Amino acid sequence: MSPTAAPAPPLAPEIADPRLYLDGIPHERFAQIRAMPGLGWHAYGDNGFWAVTRHADVREVSRNPAVFSSSIGHTNLWDLEADALEARRSLIDTDAPDHTRLRRMVAGAFTPKNIRRWTDTVREITVELLDEFEARGGGDWVELVAAPLPIRVILAMLGVPVADADYLVELSNYLVEGTGDTQSIPPDAFGNTTELRLLPFNSPASHALFEYGEDIRAKRRAEPRDDLVTHLVRAEADGGRISRHEYRHLFHLLVFAGNETTRTAISHGAMALAANRDQWQRVLDDRALVESATEEVIRWATPILHMRRTAASDCELAGTPIAAGDKVVMWYASANRDEAAFADPFRFDAGRADGEHFAFGGGGPHLCLGAFLARLEVSVLLEEMAARRLVLEQLGEPVRAASNFVHGVLSVDMAPAAGSSGGPR
Ligand code: HEM
């Protein structure tokens, strides 16, 4: 790593300790790093990483995959041994041409046109969940609305039975634990016999998710349907364009990415709307604001806090020399509050028209595959909340995930505010 060879770079304050995030994103520390000349160096494990915190720099890293590779190292902070890296590799940890081939296999299902076909399904699920939330007079928003909505939608797309949704949410929660310091399940949970270091998120829940994916793959092979798993099985049969390893990991990624992130957006979105009633009132008064409010919810939430790249060659960013092999970590959590990109970035503005948020990544080939789906889910939720004039009141503090990777909310109590008309339509 370059800091020993070059003059000592400015050291970034601690931002990687997962426990810091129990109190929310450490925004003051990120602001300090954004103000540093060049990039800040952050010690981490045996080595360290360059903390890329400014909006413009995150864009540059994202859009230069030849220099900032997703496959050389790993896309999370920690390093993996070579065999573990191979064992855990998925779409997100590949570069072209493998990335292009794999992404093409699923991209068709996630275009705006094809995602719009799911609008009625998303609306039906949303209405059902809001009815239940209101019938109970509120409760844990994560459990009642934020978690079930995205998982049910992605399962419908994959062709997975809705009865298994709770099980898959549970697995997903264990995966998030794997990004923190402690795991609440033993290594042999779910009958796992694989060494944890070879499993995504070091979690036995990954084994369970692989098994589940294999099971549904076998079923769709025997009995094809009009769903995403059948599509992948066909691609596999059709000249082996997708290997068994690639299938297992793609299924895992779609289930995890398809629910954890949007759940987080919906959780923080609810808290933001409860805390900024004037902004929600603007949406109630003018439904044309649903689109900008959706983007603002996603910017505000920034469900994925960072992604890492590894320098493929010596290069320079923001005037800082970077050596081949250095870890370069893009902090979306910081870029989305960068004063240089957004006016008053700490204000939740339902009509925000400035800036391009990087919650889905900073552009480039890995830009979130599910962005249109996530937008659809958040916007339909806002539409349906507005249709019943549901105003939320937050009851107490949220329980947050101890993770520097996802901006997770484990639970947060919400209720229809007094005077909020609410009620099933
Ligand atoms: C608000 C919700 C979501 C957020 C904030 C989010 C965020 C992200 C981010 C930051 C990346 C990495 C971008 C990069 O490295 O440049 C990503 C990639 C990805 N996301 Fe999402 N995501 C969301 C929803 C979804 C959904 C609903 C799916 C559904 C399938 C999904 C599937 C994926 C996949 C497969 C990738 C890897 C793409 C690739 O490497 O080519 N995401 N997402």
Residue bearing the CA closest to ligand 1, atom 42: 370
Which of 71, 369, 380 most suits a substitution to test ligand 1, by most atoms within 8 Å of the C-beta? 369
Q: How many Å lie between the centroid of ligand 1 and the Cα of residue 363?
A: 11
What gap in Å lies between CA 31 and CA 336, rounded to an integer?
11
Structure confidence by residue, pLDDT tens digits, 203-250: 999 999 999 999 999 999 999 998 889 888 887 766 667 888 889 999
Which of 368, 369, 376 most suits a substitution to test ligand 1, by most atoms within 8 Å of the C-beta? 368
Structure confidence by residue, pLDDT tens digits, 123-141: 999 999 999 999 999 999 9
Question: Contact at 8 Å (CB) between 169 and 148?
Answer: yes
pLDDT at 180: 66
pLDDT at 361: 98
pLDDT at 238: 66
Strand order in the sheet with 306-311: 40-44, 47-52, 327-331, 306-311, 68-69
- Atom number, ligand 1, closest to the C-alpha of residue 362: 16
Mean pLDDT of all residues belonging to the chain = 92
Residue bearing the CA closest to ligand 1, atom 2: 262
pLDDT at 9: 82
Q: How many Å lie between the centroid of ligand 1 and the Cα of residue 306?
A: 12
Mean pLDDT of all residues in 151-165: 88
pLDDT at 28: 98
Mean pLDDT of all residues in 139-158: 94
pLDDT at 384: 98
Provide CB contacts within 8 A for 27, sequence distance 6+.
Answer: 333, 334, 337, 346
Which of 360, 373, 379, 409 most suits a substitution to test ligand 1, by most atoms within 8 Å of the C-beta? 360
R_g of the chain computed on alpha carbons: 21
Burial of 210 (0-12, 13-18, 19+ CB in 10 A): buried
pLDDT at 277: 98
pLDDT at 348: 98
Residue of 280, 252, 281, 254 lying closest to 369 (CA atoms) = 254
Q: How many Å lie between the centroid of ligand 1 and the Cα of residue 254?
A: 9
pLDDT at 161: 87
Structure confidence by residue, pLDDT tens digits, 344-397: 999 999 999 999 999 999 999 999 999 999 999 999 999 999 999 999 999 999
* List of domains in the chain: 2-416 (1.10.630.10)
Q: How many Å lie between the centroid of ligand 1 and the Cα of residue 170?
A: 20
- Nearest-10 Cα torsion for 106, 211, 265, 125: 80
Highest mean predicted confidence (pLDDT) among 252-256, 289-293, 417-421: 289-293
pLDDT at 79: 86
pLDDT at 424: 44
The dihedrals phi and psi of 212, each to the nearest 5 degrees, come to -60, -45
